Structure 1
Amino acid sequence: MNEIVDQTSKFKEVMGNYPTGVTIVTTADDEGSPVGLTVNSFASVSLDPLLILWSIDHRVSTIDIFRSSDKFAVHVLAGDQTELCNLFASKGIDRFNNCDWKLSEHNLPIISDVFAVLQCKTFKQVEAGDHTILIGKVIDITKENKDPMLYHRRNFGVIPSKFYA
């Protein structure tokens, strides 16, 4: 048993030290109300067709909404959007009442002023341990001239300019 606990601790330490981008994923429920959450488990999958993936914990209150939706939007946050990141990571708050957003032509809630938005049709869902992996086919992309957010060691910020070519 101690070996499992030790492996879990090591796993969390390794993954917490792996730098990632930060996203907010949104969709709408059956009544058209927006839902969204902060996610850093996001990756590209394929160029042909354009596919991305993200995963959602089975304990998240909106998991059934995301599982039943046929589309979602992934917002790649800008480096100066720590407050927005924290807002969508918080519980018990009307997230969309506290940010600027609108419905897209695909009827998805789109948050304003982020680095990029990838609107997707749900392509496939895969059950994996205590998460569901949602794979989306990208149907629309917008990008702003901003620096993306980086998450590393429980800190959020802009990627340092020394890493740019």
Structure 2
Amino acid sequence: MTPELNSAFKAAMRRLAATVTVLSTTAENGSRHGMTATAVTSVSADPPAVLACVNRSAALHAQLGLGRRLCINLLHCSQQRLSEVFAGGMEGDIRFNEGDWLNNAEGVPYLADAQANIFCEIEALHAYGTHSVCIGRVTSAVCRADVAPLVYQDGTYMCTGPLVE
């Protein structure tokens, strides 16, 4: 990739607004792992599936594997601090001191007051460039009543709202 293409690509991607999420899972030894991610989207409605792109240098990446369980916590616009903590503001399990974290029946940590929680089982991992594309079959989902997701665009956090006619 040329420096010009690299720069143009990064500038273009900064214009792609994305809901901020925290991916969370539990390792075989019981330790909790999580990271902030915006490269998350739906794949299929039947069967319900999602994908998340995870940098291979992220600590969470080592916990990903076929059959492993993962929660995609879509953050509410009031949870910017939590996003920053899981984006590297703190390291390790201490991150889970920020926010109201619980564990589901399978032991997967989830943010109780997230905009939504999407629980999935990893069915595919595909390495590409610096990242792995993780595809998860959705096993359950929970949504908060109000719709006010935290969004990241052009290096800035923001909230969404309906257009005024």
- TM-score computed with the length of structure 1 as normaliser: 0.91
Q: Do the aligned partners of residues 86 and 69 (structure 1) sit closer, same or farther apart at CA in structure 2, a change above 3 Å counting?
A: farther
The answer to whether residue 4 in structure 2 is matched with residue 6 in structure 1 is yes
2:66–2:125 Cα contact (<8 Å) kept: no
Give per-residue Cα distances to partners, 1:33-73, cap 9 Å, x unaligned: 11100000001000110010001111112311123661100
Distance in structure 1 (CA, Å) of the matches to 2:139 and 2:145 = 21
Distance in structure 2 (CA, Å) of the matches to 1:91 and 1:50 = 32
SS of the equivalent of 1:137 reads: strand
2:36–2:83 Cα contact (<8 Å) kept: yes
Q: 1:159 maps to what in 2?
A: 160
Task: Give ranges in structure 1 of 5+ residues lacking alignment.
Answer: none
SS of the equivalent of 1:96 reads: helix
**Among 55, 65, 83, the residue aligned to 1:57:** 55
SS of the equivalent of 2:65 reads: helix
Question: How many positions carry a matched residue from both structures?
Answer: 162
Deviates more, 1:19-28 or 1:94-103: 94-103
Q: Do the aligned partners of residues 150 and 98 (structure 1) sit closer, same or farther apart at CA in structure 2, a change above 3 Å counting?
A: closer
The alpha carbon displacement at 1:80 in A equals: 1.4
Q: 1:148 maps to what in 2?
A: 149
Give per-residue Cα distances to partners, 1:98-127, cap 9 Å, x unaligned: 332111012100112110000001111111
The answer to whether residue 45 in structure 2 is matched with residue 47 in structure 1 is yes
- TM-score computed with the length of structure 2 as normaliser: 0.91
RMSD: 1.7
Distance in structure 1 (CA, Å) of the matches to 2:36 and 2:140 = 20
